[in-house]
Amino acid sequence: MSKETLRGLGLFNLTGRCAVVTGGSKGLGLAMAAGLASAGADLVLVSRHAEEAAATARDLSAEFGVRALGLAADVRNEAEVEGFVAAAVAAFGKVDILLNSAGINIRRPIAELKLEEFEQVLGINVTGTWLSCRAVLPTMRAQGWGRIINISSALGSIGLAGRTPYTASKGAVLQLTRTLALECAADGITVNAICPGPFLTEMNRSIADTEDGARLVGMTSLKRWGRLEEIQGAAIYLASAASSYVTGSTVTVDGGWTAQ
């Protein structure tokens, strides 16, 4: 999205908003962070690798003329999560938007999975999302306005063999989203989820040219991978005034996968 097209549109204008994006250093998180910046939002990008997060922040700042910080944190670590929220508040005075995109996938049949692997996926995808939501609530409640956007998946509501940790985690993200929306309804804070279908990010690179990848794409109605820019509209919509009457809901961007 270009800043010229979006900043002119009041409903979608995010100028003056501070958006924290976990997993913002690459993939869908980076694409959505760029979308928010194109609408005017300042950014705090979080991943486990400081230099990568900082370099991405510098690039987006230069491209969109917004302020951007890149910080290292593991979303499973309570103190580190509290730390990046505190750093965002110190830099921008508040957090208006939290977009939880940090996530991983481990694909294998249940009999071939170790307990640690199941716990790793749940720890990042669910506990990390929960900790990040909890950490931003005081600053959002203090200003009576906030937008929380959690990244679930088409696999949050349908099953797929060989993905027990991932589907369990993404289903949990949907229920966390709905319940937190109810808890925050009186505070001016909306909580919604985006359910993407298959996008060719690092997460899917290893299956891109395999039967597994072809099967995944074949399950979509559009019969193709999503393009990274195709996730941006959903994030901008859920972060902006355009979605003020939408909470506890999901926006599905899956090429028609779950329409079937």
Ligand X SMILES: NC(=O)c1ccc[n+]([C@@H]2O[C@H](COP(=O)([O-])OP(=O)(O)OC[C@H]3O[C@@H](n4cnc5c(N)ncnc54)[C@H](OP(=O)(O)O)[C@@H]3O)[C@@H](O)[C@H]2O)c1
Catalytic residues: 166
29 binds ligand X per the rule CB under 6 A: yes
Q: Does 258 bind ligand X (CB under 6 A)?
A: no
Using the rule CB under 6 A, give the single segment among 2-10, 57-65, 109-117, 192-200 that binds ligand X: 192-200
Only one residue has tokens 């279908």, namely: 197
Distance CA 32, CA 228 (A): 8
Binder of ligand X out of 20, 37, 71, 102 (CB under 6 A): 102
Tell me if 178 contacts ligand X by CB under 6 A.
no
> Does residue 193 belong to the site contacting ligand X (CB under 6 A)?
no
Separation of alpha carbons 61 and 80, rounded Å: 24
Closest distance between ligand X and the C-beta of residue 208, in Å?
11
Q: Kindly state the smallest distance separating residue 181's Cβ from ligand X, in Å.
A: 19
Which window, 3-11, 61-69, 135-143, 202-210, contacts ligand X (CB under 6 A)?
202-210
Q: Dig out the tokens for 47 from the structure.
A: 């991943």
Any contact of residue 32 with ligand X (CB under 6 A)? no
Each residue of 194-232: b (16+ CB within 10 Å) or e?
bbbbbbbbebbeebeeeeebeebbebbeeeebbebeebb
Least Å distance between CB 114 and ligand X?
Answer: 18
H runs (alpha helix) in 8-162: 27-38, 50-64, 78-92, 115-122, 128-143
* CB of residue 82 to ligand X, shortest distance in Å: 14
Region binding ligand X by CB under 6 A among candidate stretches 36-44, 84-92, 141-149, 193-201 = 193-201
20 backbone dihedrals φ, ψ, rounded to 5°: -95, 125
CB atoms under 10 Å from CB of 10, counted, come to 9
Binding site for ligand X (CB under 6 A): 22-23, 25-29, 46-49, 52, 74-76, 101-104, 124, 128, 151, 153, 196, 198-199, 201-204
